[in-house]
Amino acid sequence: MGIFEKIKSLFGLHSDNTKNFKKIISQLESLIGSPINDYDVFLEAMTHQSVVSQNKGFKKSNQRLEFLGDAILGAIVAEYLFKHYPDLNEGDLTKFRVRLVDKNALYKTALNLNLQEILFYDRRFIKDSESGLKSILADAMEALIGAIYLDQGLLKVKKFIEEQIIDFIDYSIDSNYKGQLLERSHKLGKGNPVYELVKVSGPEHDKIFTVAVSIGDKKLAVGSGRNKKTAEQNAAKEALEILDKLF
């Protein structure tokens, strides 16, 4: 039985889950950069324990894949930080790693990938709780990483993690510079700061983003980083230092 026929047998011919699963599988294949070989492992990754106990058609939950994905995510993030930040000490590297692998980061990434549209779970399990949904989506993200590793191998899952998590999540230690600059700009009567991406350099696997920030009609500072959000934070930090000297 094919993967989509299996879903139809579990949820019915006109199930929204069937349509969404086809859509997300197509999106995942685009993100991964190659066709999926084993659809069953991705169905398992999107199956929460709560639905297994309620529907005998589901044989496995995503808990084992979650375990695998957690280990893979931690190792790949640690290697990335170690190679890209040679001057950071162990304490700062740990802070960066925690920000990239915690439930908040995984939840945001899962929402960005629309995993909530294809995750099979019993809605009674979360009782309309945002924290409950956050937990199962974060777990599903780890399970997805495990599935990509098993289906596509280490290089593909590494690329996926770097592009979909590391480049997406703002993991800077102090992420409040933009907020401080916004407040400062309003006090000066200049309105909202404007951020503009002015340059992207480096190879595909090691890009550097450069962002300029303007207040009013004046370009005040630039900042760089491994992703756009970090570059914006660094530009805001530099702008704050300039404003301190001017005022």
Closest CA to 211 of 247, 245, 181: 181
Closest CA to 195 of 239, 151, 149, 134: 239
DSSP bridge partners of 215: 218
Rounded CA separation 101/166 (Å): 9
Q: Is 79 part of the annotated catalytic residue set?
A: no
Among residues 66, 70, 162, 238, the one annotated as catalytic is 70
- Determine the length of the chain: 247
| Nearest-10 crossing angle of helices 154-161, 63-84 | 70
Strand runs (DSSP E) across the chain, as ranges? Answer: 194-201, 208-215, 218-225
| Nearest-10 crossing angle of helices 16-32, 3-11 | 150
- In degrees, rounded to 5, the angle at the alpha carbon of residue 136 between the alpha carbons of residues 135 and 138 is 65
Among residues 142, 151, 162, 232, the one annotated as catalytic is 142
Q: Is 142 part of the annotated catalytic residue set?
A: yes
Rounded CA separation 188/181 (Å): 10
Task: Give the catalytic positions in this structure.
Answer: 70, 142
